[in-house]
């Protein structure tokens, strides 16, 4: 059983398109996160939701919009994709904010 | 502005020997530190953590040491095994026990354990 899953695993798209990445966790956690790992390998937090409420928004362009339909899901929608959005995006979850985070396998986004 | 730094991008160790991975941080508000391990094409996996009220935490072959005055922590793996070969990320949080839970990651160190 996969604890934190993401779809798709790979995403190749053209500049200007809109795309979504889905994340689901079956751990019963209250808190979910989105991270971006850029070409320099830095993992940076983008968003965090606790009980479906946004608690962290780390200066991410408003082309990125997270949506949490329920505590088990946190999706990431990206409008008007740019070349600089190419990265690996990781979803994570934790029992509550500040606890150890469990990561999904990542989604490699390539914008051409 | 990297608040968590892992200055060694790679480390190569013989099987059975000790692996020491280092991490420095700049933010004195960090009060919780974690190490994650990452295999290719997988997400990071939590390995071990330490609170700022401690200077050492041990879990099997893995021990994390924290030197708050030097703003430095290290992960010791003894004995090292080939299966330990992975990228190790150091992470720190100023939000332990808070309502946020931000984690700041280092760039990672690729550990290779050879037979």
Residue B48: its pLDDT value, please? Answer: 96
Range from A37-46, B19-28, B84-93 carrying the lowest mean pLDDT: A37-46
pLDDT confidence tier of residue A99, bands split at 50, 70 and 90 = confident
Residue B97: its pLDDT value, please? Answer: 64
Nearest to B62 by CA among B38, B39, B98, B36: B36
Q: What is the largest CA-CA distance in chain A?
A: 37
Q: What is the mean pLDDT of residues B78-100?
A: 89
> What spatial distance separates the first Cα and last Cα of chain B, rounded to whole Å?
38
Nearest residue in A to B37, CA atom:
A103
Interface of B with A (CB under 8 A): 2, 32, 34, 36, 41-46, 49, 89, 93, 95-105, 107-108
Range from A56-70, B3-17, B26-40 carrying the lowest mean pLDDT: A56-70
Q: What are φ and ψ of residue B14, in 5° steps?
A: -80, 145
Q: What is the mean pLDDT of residues A80-91?
A: 96
B43, B95, B99: residue with CB nearest A103: B43
Q: Alpha-carbon distance B88 to B48, whole Å?
A: 11
pLDDT above 80 (res B115): yes
pLDDT above 80 (res B99): no
Query: How many contacts (CB atoms, under 8 Å) link A and B?
Result: 65
Chain B contact for A92, CB < 8 A? yes
Q: Phi-psi category of A27—alpha, beta or left, where left has phi over 0 and alpha has psi -120 to 50?
A: alpha
- pLDDT tens-digit profile of B39-75? 998 999 999 999 999 999 999 999 999 999 999 999 9
Residue B95: its pLDDT value, please? Answer: 73
Chain B contact for A101, CB < 8 A? yes
């Amino acid at each position: 059983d996969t604890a934190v899953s993401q779809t798709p695993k790979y995403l190749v798209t053209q500049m200007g398109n809109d795309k979504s990445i889905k994340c689901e966790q079956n751990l019963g956690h209250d808190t979910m996160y989105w991270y971006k790992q850029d070409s320099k390998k830095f993992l940076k937090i983008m968003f965090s939701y606790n009980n479906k409420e946004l608690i962290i928004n780390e200066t991410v362009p408003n082309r990125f919009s997270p949506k949490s339909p329920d505590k088990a899901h946190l999706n990431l929608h990206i409008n008007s994709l740019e070349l600089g959005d190419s990265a690996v995006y990781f979803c994570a979850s934790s029992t509550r904010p500040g606890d150890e985070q469990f990561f999904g396998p990542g989604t490699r986004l390539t914008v051409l | 502005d990297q608040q968590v730094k892992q200055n060694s991008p790679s480390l190569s160790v013989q099987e059975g020997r000790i692996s020491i991975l280092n991490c420095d941080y700049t933010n004195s508000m960090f009060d919780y530190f974690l190490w994650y391990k990452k295999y290719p094409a997988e997400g990071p996996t939590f390995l071990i953590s330490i609170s700022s009220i401690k200077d050492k935490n041990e879990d099997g072959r893995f021990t994390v040491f924290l030197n708050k005055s030097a703003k430095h922590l290290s992960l010791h793996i003894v004995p090292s095994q080939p299966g330990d070969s992975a990228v190790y990320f150091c992470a720190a949080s100023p939000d332990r026990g808070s309502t946020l839970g931000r984690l700041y990651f280092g760039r990672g160190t690729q550990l290779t354990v050879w037979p």
